[in-house]
Amino acid sequence: MKIQSKKGVVNHDLSEAPKISRRGLWPFLAASLVFPMFARSNSKRSVRSEDHNVDAKEYETLLKPDGTVVKVRRSTLSSSRIVKKNVTNKSLLSWLSRK
């Protein structure tokens, strides 16, 4: 194939195109793995915070008798009955120490 350039007519053979060796692929491979870590969008963060706010409004954290924490829907709490109101610290600790 003949190409006209400023220096004159140049013969180019397509079979002699520059080939990329294995060593030449490493920078491309490394860049393809590293760049996605830096290219995070802010839209995902805002969606997560909105989900967290909805989650916080919909659920309430309570303490079980064995001392573990549980998330309970507020609608369930509104339909439940109160066993004991205004629990003192001593009675709460005795309730938690039961096993």
What confidence tens digit (pLDDT) does each residue in 10-43 have?
Answer: 565 656 666 777 788 888 888 888 877 776 655 5
**Is the sign of the CA dihedral 7, 13, 16, 20 positive or negative?**
positive
- What pLDDT is stored for residue 49 in this prediction? 58
Instruction: Please name every residue paired with 11 in a beta bridge, in sequence order, or none if there are none.
Output: 2
Q: How far apart are CA 57 and CA 50, in angstroms?
A: 11
Question: Measuring CA to CA, how many Å separate 39 from each of 16, 25, 29, 49?
Answer: 37, 22, 16, 19
Question: Where are the domains positioned within the chain?
Answer: 58-97
Instruction: Read off the pTM.
Output: 0.32
Q: Which of 15-19, 70-74, 87-91 has the lowest mean pLDDT?
A: 15-19
Q: What residues have CB less than 8 Å from 67, skipping those under 6 apart?
A: 96
